[in-house]
C-alpha cells in the first residue's frame, strides 16, 4: 500500500499530527473545564461556609438553652428564618441547596430548577416518603469530616444524567464541637463549561482538518524536492549497473542527499578506476601469457619438426623452462592475491628477529643483486630486534620490496635497509637510489593489477601484483605501509610491525 516516499511521509506526518493535537486537545478540554468552573466553585464554597456557620451557630444556641445538638432546623421555631435564608442563597447562586443529615436524608431542599425537581422527587423519594440520597458515595466522603469541602463535577453519580448538562456540586460539612451534624449541598448547572468544550472541540476538528490539508500540500512539495535527487541517483545507479561507469550526479545540496550524491560519485569513480585497471590487467596478463606461450609453442614445434638442430635443442629447452617458470610466478601471484583478499591465508604471529630475516632475503636474491652490481647496505638500530608477525608473510613483503628495488635501480646502484624501534613498534625501511616514482602514481601503485603505462624501468615483466600483495599482507597484520619518492632521486618504502620478545629459536 505505502509504496511511494510521498505516501509514507504523509501517513507518518498525519499520525504524528493527530497524536500531538489529540494530546493538546485533551489537556485543553480538561483545562477549560477547570477554568470555567473555578469561579463557580469559589462562589458556592463561600455560600456553603455562610450556611454551615449559621447552622453551627444554631446548634450552639440549642445546646446552650436546650441541652441538645440535634438538627436545629427541624425545630419549627427556625423553619421560617432558615427557609428565607436558603431561598435567598439559592437565587443568588442559581443553585439547588440541600441540607442533608449524616444518614443521607435530605432534611431541607431549596431551589426551583424546573424538571430537576421532578427528577429528584422520582429518584430520591423513598418508601416512607422522605428524600434520601440513594448511594453512600453521594454523602460518605463529606460526612467523614476529613475535608472542609468536597467538589463533584458531572451528573452527581447519575442523578442529573437526564438533564444532559454538566453539574457542579459543592458539599460542605457543618460541625459542632468536633461532631459532624450534617452537610450542605449546593448544586448548580454549568452549561458554559459544556459550551466551551463543545466550541473547543469544533475548533479542534477544524484546525486538524486545515492542518492535514496544509501538511499534505507541504509534504507534496517537500517530497518532490526529496524524490527528484533520489530519482537521479536511482537512474545513475542503473547506468552504473549496466557498465556505464562515466555516469555522474550533479546535485549540489549541502544535506544528506548531497553527501549521498558525493559518495555515489566517488563510488562511480572508484568503479571506473577499477574497471580500467581490470581491463588493463586483462590486457597485461593476456600479453604476459601470450608471449611465453608463443615462444614455448614455437620452440617445441621447431624441435619436433627438426627446424632446430639437435645441438641447439638444449639451449631452447632452457628458454622454455624459464618461460614456464615465468608463467608459474604469474599464476601464483594471482591466486595468492585472491586468497589474501578473501582472508583465506591465516596470520600466525610469532616472535622473530627482523634483522636476520632481512639478511636471509638479501641472500635469496643475491644472484639478481650481483648481476646488476648493486651495493646493499644495512643500518640496524639494534643488532637483534624482535618483531611479532607471521614470518612467511613478512618474508614475502621484504622479498617483494627488495625485488622491486632491484628492478628499478640502475646497474651499480645502491639499496639500503633500515630498522628502528618506535615505542612498541618496529619500523622497517627499504630505500633505493633508482629513478623514483612520479607523484601522480604514488597513490596508484598499491592498486591491484596496476601497471604504469610509462614503465619506470627497462624490465616489463611485472603485472602490478607485487605491491598489492605487500599492502594486503601488512593490512592483515593491522599495520601501516607507505612510500616516499622523488623522480630521479629514489624511493623509500616504510612499514611497521609489532615489537616482539626474545625468541631463542630464531
pLDDT of residue 462: 54
Residues 100 and 177 in one domain: yes
Distance CA 503, CA 44 (A): 98
> How far, in Å, CA of 457 to CA of 408, rounded?
6
Which pLDDT value is given to residue 247? 79
Q: Is 211 a domain residue? A: no
The pLDDT score that the predictor gives to residue 460 is 46
* Pair 333, 386 in one domain: no
Residue ending a domain, among 341, 375, 403, is: 341
Same domain, residue pair 407 and 285:
no
- Other CB atoms within 10 A of residue 65 CB: 8
68 and 178 belong to one structural domain: yes
Average pLDDT score, the chain = 81
Q: Are residues 61 and 170 in the same domain?
A: yes
Entry pTM: 0.46
pLDDT confidence of residue 1: 53
DSSP readout, 271-309?
HHHHHHHHHHHHHHHHHHHHHHHHHHHHHHHHHHTT-S-
> Is 304 found in the same domain as 162?
no
- Does residue 445 contact residue 437 with C-beta atoms inside 8 Å? yes
Region 278-293 average pLDDT: 73
Q: How far apart are the first and last CA of the chain?
A: 69
Mark whether 301 and 410 lie in a shared domain: no
Counted domains in the chain? 3
Q: Is residue 147 part of a domain?
A: yes
Q: Which domain holds residue 428?
A: 350-499
**Residue 16 included in any domain:** yes
Tens of pLDDT, residue by residue over 138-166, are: 888 888 888 888 988 888 888 888 887 77
**Cα–Cα distance, 278 to 437 (Å, whole number):** 22
Per-residue model confidence (pLDDT) at position 41: 85
Written as nine digits, the cell of 355 is 634483522
* 65 Cβ contact partners less than 8 Å away, ≥ 6 residues apart: none
pLDDT on residue 2: 59
| Residue 388 sits in the same domain as residue 306 | no
Using one digit for the tens of pLDDT, what is the confidence trace for 81-120?
677 888 888 888 888 888 888 888 888 888 876 777 788 8
Residues 318-375 pLDDT 10s: 888 878 877 887 777 777 777 777 666 778 899 999 999 999 999 999 988 999 999 9
Do 367 and 337 belong to one domain?
no
Confidence of residue 11 (pLDDT cuts 50, 70, 90): confident
Q: What is the pLDDT of residues 439-462, one digit of tens each?
A: 888 887 877 656 554 444 445 455
Question: Quick one: 361 and 336 in the same domain?
Answer: no
Looking at the fold, whether 39 and 155 belong to one and the same domain comes out as yes
CB 169 within 8 A of CB 185: yes
Amino acid at each position: 500500500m505505502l509504496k511511494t516516499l510521498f505516501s509514507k511521509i504523509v501517513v507518518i506526518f498525519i499520525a504524528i499530527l493527530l497524536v500531538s493535537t489529540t494530546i493538546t486537545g485533551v489537556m485543553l478540554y480538561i483545562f477549560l473545564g477547570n477554568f470555567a468552573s473555578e469561579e463557580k466553585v469559589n462562589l458556592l464554597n463561600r455560600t456553603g461556609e455562610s450556611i454551615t456557620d449559621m447552622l453551627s451557630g444554631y446548634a450552639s444556641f440549642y445546646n446552650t438553652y436546650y441541652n441538645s445538638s440535634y438538627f436545629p432546623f427541624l425545630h419549627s421555631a427556625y423553619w421560617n428564618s432558615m427557609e428565607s435564608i436558603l431561598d435567598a442563597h439559592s437565587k443568588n447562586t442559581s443553585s439547588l441547596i440541600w441540607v442533608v443529615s449524616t444518614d443521607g436524608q435530605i432534611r431541607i431542599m431549596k431551589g426551583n430548577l424546573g424538571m430537576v425537581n421532578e427528577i429528584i422527587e422520582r429518584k430520591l423519594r423513598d418508601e416512607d416518603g422522605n428524600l434520601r440520597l440513594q448511594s453512600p458515595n453521594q454523602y460518605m466522603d463529606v460526612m467523614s469530616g476529613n475535608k472542609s469541602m468536597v467538589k463533584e463535577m458531572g451528573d452527581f453519580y447519575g442523578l442529573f444524567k437526564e438533564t444532559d448538562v454538566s453539574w457542579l456540586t459543592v458539599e460542605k460539612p457543618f460541625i459542632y464541637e468536633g461532631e459532624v451534624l450534617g452537610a450542605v449541598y449546593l448544586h448548580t448547572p454549568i452549561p458554559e463549561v459544556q459550551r466551551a468544550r463543545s466550541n473547543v472541540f469544533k475548533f479542534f476538528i477544524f484546525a486538524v482538518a486545515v492542518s492535514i490539508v496544509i501538511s499534505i500540500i507541504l509534504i507534496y512539495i517537500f517530497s518532490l524536492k526529496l524524490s527528484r535527487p533520489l530519482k537521479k541517483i536511482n537512474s545513475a545507479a542503473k547506468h552504473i549497473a549496466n557498465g556505464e561507469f562515466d555516469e555522474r550526479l550533479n546535485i549540489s545540496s549541502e544535506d544528506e542527499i548531497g553527501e549521498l550524491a558525493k559518495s555515489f560519485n566517488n563510488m562511480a569513480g572508484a568503479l571506473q578506476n577499477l574497471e580500467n585497471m581490470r581491463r588493463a590487467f586483462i590486457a597485461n596478463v593476456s600479453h604476459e601469457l601470450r608471449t611465453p606461450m608463443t615462444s614455448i609453442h614455437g620452440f617445441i614445434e621447431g624441435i619436433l619438426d627438426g627446424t632446430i638442430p639437435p645441438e641447439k635443442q638444449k639451449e631452447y629447452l632452457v628458454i622454455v623452462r624459464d618461460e614456464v617458470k615465468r608463467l608459474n610466478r604469474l599464476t601464483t601471484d594471482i591466486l595468492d592475491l585472491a586468497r589474501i583478499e578473501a582472508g583465506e591465508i591465516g596470520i600466525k604471529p610469532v616472535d622473530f628477529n627482523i634483522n636476520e630475516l632481512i639478511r636471509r632475503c638479501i641472500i635469496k636474491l643475491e644472484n639478481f643483486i650481483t648481476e646488476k652490481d648493486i651495493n646493499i647496505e644495512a643500518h640496524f638500530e639494534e643488532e637483534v630486534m624482535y618483531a611479532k608477525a607471521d614470518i612467511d608473510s613478512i618474508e614475502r613483503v621484504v622479498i617483494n620490496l627488495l625485488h622491486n628495488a632491484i628492478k628499478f635501480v640502475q646497474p651499480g646502484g645502491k639499496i639500503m635497509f633500515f630498522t628502528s624501534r618506535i615505542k612498541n613498534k618496529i619500523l622497517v625501511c627499504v630505500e633505493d637510489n633508482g629513478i623514483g616514482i612520479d607523484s601522480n602514481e604514488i597513490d596508484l601503485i598499491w592498486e591491484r593489477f596496476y601497471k604504469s603505462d610509462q614503465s619506470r624501468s627497462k624490465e616489463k615483466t611485472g603485472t602490478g601484483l607485487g605491491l598489492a600483495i605487500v599492502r594486503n599482507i601488512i593490512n592483515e597484520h593491522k599495520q601501516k605501509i607507505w612510500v616516499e619518492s622523488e623522480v630521479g632521486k629514489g624511493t623509500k618504502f616504510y612499514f611497521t610491525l609489532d615489537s616482539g620478545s626474545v625468541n631463542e629459536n630464531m
